[in-house]
Chains A and B, each alone.
Chain A
Amino acid sequence: MSFHSEAQFKLALDDVRKGFWQPGLWLMLGWQDIRQRFRRSMLGPLWLTLSTGFMLVALGLVYGAIFKMPLQEYFPYLAAGVVAWTLISSLISEGCQTFITSDALIKQIRLPFTTHACRVVWRNTIIFLHNLAIIVVVMLVFKIMPSVGSVLLLAVGLLAVMLNGVWVSLALGLICTRFRDVPPIVGSVLQLVFFVTPIIWHPSLLPGRQRVISFNPFYHFIELLRAPMLNTTPAADSWRAVLAITVVGWVVTFVLLLRARRRITYWL
């Protein structure tokens, strides 16, 4: 271990590499978070699944009627969208707290910062996997038979979201550790995004305004998860958009790490 200011590039690279290649650590920490959060509750993370389920039933009945869409069509769409959004929004909001909540650990032991980011992503992935129970129920009720291809597509989409989740947790975690006003701002933005992104409403309800939708990065991420859950294929445009965001996001995050990684501990 050696710290010279010239070595920042190598240190930042090592952080990301070692963070990823020690999955044992973040897998364990992520599970630990789930166990801690739901200790002594009988249903555990399924409590979240249940509450999401109840919210879906309420939203489905009200908005299905407002939009005058048949439940057979609207409800699966809503359920898949909300389950996808729950993962994406919690990755972003908890990403803000990546380092702040791990401050005791960060100040005691040297671990790659990427490990803490992966922990956030893994924890939320576990919750997402529990929430898939909702989708299974919806499929049973509405008699949708998922193809093997859809399951594979969902897995690939999930991996893409997770990979982006890691840079989001690193970048937002870093920024929010330094500027403590950012988490509330992110919170309000997320609320806004929920309403302007096609989650409770269908893109076909916004005729002639397709651009508003295709320029919304959240739409593409949601599509990546939602389409396979509805047994369809995400549009190629969505894949392209997500790929571009992944590359740009990681480059920006790496530059941030290069410039500020060593200061994170000082800001805690």
Chain B
Amino acid sequence: MASIRLRGVHVEIPIYNTSARSLKKQLVRATTGGRIQSDHGITVVRALNGIDLELNDGDRLGLVGSNGAGKTTLLRVLAGVYEPTRGSITVAGSIMPLLDVAMGIDMDSTGMENIMLRGRLLGIDRRQLLELRDQISEFTELGEYIHMPVRTYSSGMVLRLAFGISTCVTPEIVLMDEYFAVGDAHFMRKAERRLIDVVAKAGIIVFASHSGDLIRRLCNKALWVHAGEARALGSTDEVLAQYAASG
């Protein structure tokens, strides 16, 4: 059973290379982004400010919010990359992070080699990957390109490869950042079907996107993040309406 519990999660990122206080003032005036504060002369970006969240099997959460509101930071907290500076997080279940297309992709290796590379980084073991290899290559529809170096691929093809590897096993929790949603229409339909498949096998999806459409199709819950705080949490239609109304 997959579950995620966040209690009062704060993420405060120290910025050591900005000494200019005037810059800080400028940034505080900006309407987007996390809060920026200065403690002991060190500038601190409060990327998340006391987030509470509880997700269980079958929850498909869409994250909305302006650029720099904290969506990606929240995904990274869920992935265990950022450990909260305050508050607690408890995650039960295997996590599949789809945050960056390029992660674990070596441009000079072939698609096949990259299946092994990225797959192993994602925690899939070698034997399982050897078995799944052909199935992944079929899903990506890359044909003979699967034996070519990835640097010869278009960005859409890299995406197919990355997505195919990441979803070849059924993880309990999928964390997805929006640029995973930039394939061509045909591939997007296929990707959506696979994601719906993954969710059907009892799991949690957290999906950050600017596209209300995609969130409506993929998710059954939404969280509006603003300046590192949870502005609204509820059904997708409710939250998306509130977010749209905020302009």
Contacts and interface: CB of A to CB of B under 8 A. Distances in A.
A108 B126 contact: no
Nearest to A1: B91
Interface stretch (B23-31, B63-71, B79-87, B215-223): B79-87
B11 to A, nearest CB: 8
B97 A24 contact: no
Nearest to B72: A107
Contacts of A266: 12-14, 82, 85
Nearest to B76: A107
Contact of B108 (A39, A107, A178): A39
A105 B83 contact: no
Interface in A88-110: 104-110
Contacts of A251: none
Number of chain B interface residues as a range: 20 to 34
Given A3-B84, A39-B108, A110 B100 contact: no
Interface string A1-36: 111100000000000000000001100100010011
Contacts of A39: 108
Contacts of B231: none
Contact of A109 (B16, B88, B102, B103): B103
B183 interface: no
A262 interface: yes
Contacts of A40: 108
Interface string A224-268: 000000000000000000000000000000000000001001110
A96 to B, nearest CB: 17
Interface in B90-112: 90-92, 95, 97, 99-100, 102-104, 106, 108-109
Contact of A24 (B85, B95, B109, B126): B126
B142 interface: no
B194 interface: no
B97 A2 contact: no
Interface residue SS majority, chain A: helix
A2 B103 contact: no
Given A2-B90, A32-B117, A39-B108, A109 B83 contact: no
B53 interface: no
Contacts of A35: 109
A262 B90 CA distance: 16
Contact of A267 (B14, B104, B121): B14
A48 B158 CA distance: 33
Contacts of A36: 106, 108
B81 A108 contact: yes
A161 to B, nearest CB: 27
B79 to A, nearest CB: 6
A151 B89 CA distance: 50
Given A4-B88, A266-B14, A267-B14, A104 B102 contact: yes
A108 B80 CA distance: 9
A24 B102 contact: no
B121 A109 contact: yes
B70 to A, nearest CB: 14
11 contacts: A1-B91, A28-B116, A28-B120, A32-B106, A36-B108, A108-B97, A108-B100, A262-B83, A265-B81, A265-B83, A266-B82
Interface of A: 1-4, 24-25, 28, 32, 35-36, 39-40, 104-111, 178, 262, 265-267
Given A3-B80, A265-B83, 13 more contacts: A2-B91, A3-B83, A25-B121, A28-B116, A39-B108, A107-B81, A108-B97, A108-B100, A109-B103, A109-B121, A110-B80, A110-B81, A111-B121
Interface of B: 12-14, 16, 76, 79-85, 88-92, 95, 97, 99-100, 102-104, 106, 108-109, 116-117, 120-122, 125-126
